[in-house]
């Protein structure tokens, strides 16, 4: 079993803000702060009733970022093909 320690309200808010606002993956935010991912997911679950579906928003942000990268890659490839003609 892991050890129990109290996480300050400020640290908890920083972790949740990184997830909600920066689109950071919850597991990575937990690892960076030295907190169990299970604990972070529990905090998120408690906040979902208040804040809406935060996890879904993060998923959509990451998906949007990946799509923008793909569009950029395809645009670059298209320009390279045009340049060869």
Q: What integer pLDDT is reported at residue 76 of this predicted model?
A: 93
CA-based nearest residue to 11, from 37, 29, 38: 29
Q: What integer pLDDT is reported at residue 5 of this predicted model?
A: 77
In contact, 65 and 23? CB cutoff 8 Å: yes
Spatial distance between the Cα atoms of 17 and 19, rounded to a whole number of angstroms: 5
In contact, 12 and 43? CB cutoff 8 Å: yes
pLDDT tens for the chain, residues 1 to 85: 566 778 888 888 899 888 888 888 889 999 999 999 999 988 888 875 555 566 677 778 889 999 999 999 999 999 998 888 6
CA-based nearest residue to 33, from 64, 5, 71: 5
Task: Supply the pTM of this predicted model.
Answer: 0.53
């Amino acid at each position: 079993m892991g050890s129990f320690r109290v996480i300050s309200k400020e640290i908890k808010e920083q972790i949740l803000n990184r997830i909600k606002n920066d689109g950071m993956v919850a597991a990575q935010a937990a690892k960076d702060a030295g907190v169990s991912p299970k604990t972070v997911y529990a905090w998120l679950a408690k906040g979902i009733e208040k804040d809406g579906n935060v996890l879904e928003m993060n998923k959509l942000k990451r998906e949007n970022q990946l799509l923008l990268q793909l569009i950029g890659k395809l645009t670059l490839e298209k320009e390279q093909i045009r340049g060869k003609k």
